[in-house]
Structure 1
């Protein structure tokens, strides 16, 4: 019973770690992409 409890705990911690990394990537990538985004100037203003 103790071994089962430990293995379940380890697996759940591994799942939580993977989920947190995945969610972190979802948050960081759009934020960093938004920083490098520059609005495009219309061609009419460039003439």
Structure 2
């Protein structure tokens, strides 16, 4: 996973916030895939 910016310096709080959002989104997408697989196997 990587978070970067090309337009301005990013404050550490902004960096952490973006990283948290990316991790949450990845976890949410993973849960959707797992749920879909469980539906197929049911």
Do the structures match in fold with TM over 0.5?
Answer: yes
TM-score by length of 2: 0.70
Tell me, which stretches of 5 or more residues in structure 2 are unaligned?
A: 1-10
The size of the alignment, in residue pairs, is 32
CA RMSD of superposed structures (Å)? 0.6
TM-score by length of 1: 0.64
Decide which structure has greater helix share: 1
For residues 28-43 of structure 1, the aligned pairs below 5 Å read: 28-32=38-42
> Computing the radius of gyration over CA atoms, which structure comes out larger, 1 or 2?
1
Tell me, which stretches of 5 or more residues in structure 1 are unaligned?
A: 33-47
Which residue pairs with 1:19 in the alignment? Answer: 29
Of structures 1 and 2, the one with the larger relative CO (CA 8 A, separation 6+) is: 2
